[in-house]
Structure 1
Amino acid sequence: MVKIFIGDYVSFDHEKQSNEILPLLECLIYAITPGRPLDYFLKNILANGFGPTGGDPGWSISWIEEPSDALYPDDWQNFMNSHAGASGCFEAWTYQKISMLDPCYAYYDRHTLISEVQAALENIKLRHPDRSHEVDKIIKELCS
């Protein structure tokens, strides 16, 4: 396993993950930072009705249930077609001129999002043991 850290806490394992995960990881760099409560953005992403959230320097994660709400409706529909029975999915978008990703967006099921959030939180816990209680609480409340 070769983990490449993107930002301080988000990691990418090129042996296990495809580049399709990169828009989500780019968003999580900004959504999970130790300079504020770790659930500052996660509460809107994973609770509160899956509200959209995002910020500077140009990122967003939104729960999308209708193609008209998606930034890229055709790609949203393709994702939904490959995930029969799903009521919606998460759309991760980054500002391409900053992220340099192409494409700069992708769609994800809840399991994928939760898995990447948990991985980033566990990395924070390893580097900041004093925040273990906060990380464990977030995982229990938002990632279960």
Structure 2
Amino acid sequence: MIEELAVGAQFQIPYLHIVVNNAYLGLIRQAQRGFDMDYCVQLSFDNVNAPEVGGYGVDHVKIAEGLGCKAVRVLEPDRIAPAFEEAKKLMAEYRVPVVVEVILERVTNVSMGTELDNIAEFEELATPG
């Protein structure tokens, strides 16, 4: 549900809303893994109104702006921290939610679980040097 963005804009509630975009309905796709499925969960398509999203389909920046918010798109990992800094400035200036959309690789598995002490990791965790 994204209506919370419009409510935040309506009542001038600045907060950071992060969208991790891999052009999939990610948690649904992951839930299907146990059934050896990957059915109707990808959202990648060439959006004629947003060629800048490069086949990732939905333009979350335009959606956020259409709901009265501000938004920043991140295409490279080294741009995440600067995007958060830009988001802070936009929140202070406009007093609305700011969406930071981070474009990920297409098939990405996120950590998930039913309890904090029962999290399934699908990728090896980064460890300090």
Q: Would you say same fold, with TM above 0.5?
A: no
Structure with max Cα Rg: 2
The higher relative CO (CA closer than 8 Å, separation ≥ 6) is in 2
TM-score, with length taken from structure 2: 0.32
TM-score, with length taken from structure 1: 0.29
